[in-house]
Chain A
Amino acid sequence: MVNKMITNTAQETELERLFQAKIDTEQKIEPKDWMPDAYRQNLIRQMSQHAHSEVIGMQPEGNWITRAPSLRRKAVLLSKVQDEAGHGLYLYSATETLGISRAEMITALQTGTAKYASIFNYPTQTWGDMGAIGWLVDGAAICNQVSLQRTSYGPYARSMIRICKEESFHQRQGYQIMIELAHGTPAQKEMAQDSLNRFYWPSLMMFGPHDSESAHLARSMKWKIKRETNDDLRQKFINQTVSQINYLGLDHPDKALQWNEERGHYDSSELNWDEFYSVINGNGHCNRQRIQHHVKAHEEGAWVREATAAYNLKKQLKLARDAA
């Protein structure tokens, strides 16, 4: 017994060495490959959280579909929200290759065991928010997702590539809303400024806590689940957003923002991390509403799933009868 355990451990060490060697040489890990259990669990957590974010992310924008200011705008917003549903599907399916079921993931979301991006717990109060979300929220997501196209798990990397292809329209349509408002009447410009002010900070928080606070960062980087750190990605986003705010002619929400010649980056204000943790832990404006709505939609769809099952059964019975 003892001997067997020792061989198992030696075997595991060898498997783990081969696993790391693949990662070090930029080979992807595929579903049927051996992988350390912690790698699998880490991916399930990150990928399902990502999938939940796509799905819950439909709600703040769905809120404005009926009130879009023109038929064209309505069609654009509908298309975007429809894409997000697809992104959720790609990611759930990729996560299922790790051996967890869709039902388990949905339960984890609905019972609060699994998280989703805290940005979606902020309310969408004006049409300007549709601009700010597409531009900033999808923009920040794209920053992260572009980096994840090189993640070490094959199915995750491939869904990221597919998703990134569809995302750029999301950011552009949002920025176009912002241009129209910011270059419009004084009231419209004010609306754009207000949306920017409210969504700028939570967008920066989408990159997650500081690297120094991130418990599994070193391991995630070693396993190449993450390819760039939270702080590096956030800095990239801060830098590229400056000229976009300038072009709109809006005030930058960060009064301390300053170009740092030496670093070659913008220096910026510290974020309100108390707010971040408070929203993550369920105390944002819309946390309860988002989950309640998800549960409601899921339950209201039950009759469709039942009808499909009944129809399938009926077809099978007919097949069996015809064969007999």
Chain B
Amino acid sequence: MTIEKLELFEVFVRPKRGLDHKHVGSLHAEGREQALEYARDVYTRRTEGISIWVVKSQDISASQEDDNECFFDPSDDKPYRHATYYPLPKEISTM
């Protein structure tokens, strides 16, 4: 089977309990099972994680950098969403 016939998978690894799975890279495989095994072999050879997710790359919907302006810009003019926008009087010890 040529590599073109294989599917592309994205690999996510949970480094330890309590942390989110993090994207670590991708690989080619003929199916999910094989993708999981390959992911174990290539991305966790040094106990980098305790759990792996594989997702077909084509199943991921991604926003495009070109669209960033209309996608993310509206939050630029909302500084009041941050706590630092409201100065605390120095008399207040904790808040």
| CB-based contact A247/B91 at 8 Å | yes
Please, which residues of chain B bring their CB within 8 A of the CB of A240? 93-95
Looking at the assembled complex, report how far the CB atom of A183 sits from the nearest CB atom of chain B, in whole angstroms: 10
Q: Which of A191-224 contact B (CB under 8 A)?
A: none
Please, which residues of chain A bring their CB within 8 A of the CB of B89? 179, 247
A141-184 toward B: CB 8 Å interface, digit per residue (1/0)? 00000000000001001100000000011011101100100000
The answer to whether the Cβ of B86 comes within 8 Å of any Cβ in the partner chain is yes
Q: Which B residues fall within an 8 A CB radius of A?
A: 14, 16-18, 20, 51, 78, 80-83, 85-86, 88-89, 91-95
| CB-based contact A172/B86 at 8 Å | yes
Q: Which A residues fall within an 8 A CB radius of B?
A: 22, 27-30, 32, 72, 75-76, 79, 83, 139, 154, 157-158, 168-169, 171-173, 175-176, 179, 240, 243-244, 246-247
Please, which residues of chain A bring their CB within 8 A of the CB of B81? 79, 83, 169
Q: How far is the CA of A175 from the CA of B78 in the complex (A)?
A: 19
Q: Which one of A79, A158, A171 contacts B20 once the chains associate, using CB atoms below 8 Å?
A: A158
| CB-based contact A175/B95 at 8 Å | yes
Please, which residues of chain A bring their CB within 8 A of the CB of B83? 168-169, 171-172
Could you list 15 further interchain pairs (A-B, Cβ under 8 angstroms) beyond the known A32-B51, A243-B91?
A: A27-B17, A27-B18, A30-B14, A30-B51, A154-B18, A157-B18, A158-B18, A158-B20, A168-B83, A169-B83, A171-B83, A172-B83, A173-B86, A175-B88, A247-B91
Residue in A closest to B75 when the chains form the complex, CB atoms:
A79
| CB-based contact A243/B93 at 8 Å | yes
Given A139-B95, A240-B94, A72-B17 contact (CB < 8 Å): no
The interface residues of chain A, by DSSP majority, are classed as helix
| CB-based contact B18/A76 at 8 Å | no
Q: How far is the CA of A83 from the CA of B83 in the complex (A)?
A: 13
Looking at the assembled complex, report how far the CB atom of A286 sits from the nearest CB atom of chain B, in whole angstroms: 28
| CB-based contact B80/A72 at 8 Å | yes
Residue in A closest to B93 when the chains form the complex, CB atoms:
A243
Please, which residues of chain B bring their CB within 8 A of the CB of A246? 91
Please, which residues of chain B bring their CB within 8 A of the CB of A32? 51
Residue in B closest to A172 when the chains form the complex, CB atoms:
B86
Looking at the assembled complex, report how far the CB atom of B30 sits from the nearest CB atom of chain A, in whole angstroms: 22
| CB-based contact B95/A154 at 8 Å | no
Q: Which one of A22, A72, A79, A244 contacts B92 once the chains associate, using CB atoms below 8 Å?
A: A244
Q: Which one of B17, B80, B91 contacts A28 once the chains associate, using CB atoms below 8 Å?
A: B17
Please, which residues of chain B bring their CB within 8 A of the CB of A173? 80, 86
Looking at the assembled complex, report how far the CB atom of A60 sits from the nearest CB atom of chain B, in whole angstroms: 20
Please, which residues of chain B bring their CB within 8 A of the CB of A30? 14, 17, 51
Q: How far is the CA of A172 from the CA of B94 in the complex (A)?
A: 11
Q: How far is the CA of A83 from the CA of B78 in the complex (A)?
A: 13
Please, which residues of chain A bring their CB within 8 A of the CB of B85? 169, 172
Please, which residues of chain B bring their CB within 8 A of the CB of A169? 80-83, 85-86
Residue in B closest to A135 when the chains form the complex, CB atoms:
B95
Looking at the assembled complex, report how far the CB atom of A24 sits from the nearest CB atom of chain B, in whole angstroms: 13
Q: How far is the CA of A175 from the CA of B95 in the complex (A)?
A: 10
Looking at the assembled complex, report how far the CB atom of A321 sits from the nearest CB atom of chain B, in whole angstroms: 21
| A-B residue pairs, 9 tightest by C-beta | A28-B18, A172-B86, A168-B83, A28-B17, A27-B17, A169-B83, A247-B91, A240-B94, A176-B86
Looking at the assembled complex, report how far the CB atom of B12 sits from the nearest CB atom of chain A, in whole angstroms: 13
Looking at the assembled complex, report how far the CB atom of A257 sits from the nearest CB atom of chain B, in whole angstroms: 17
Please, which residues of chain B bring their CB within 8 A of the CB of A157? 18
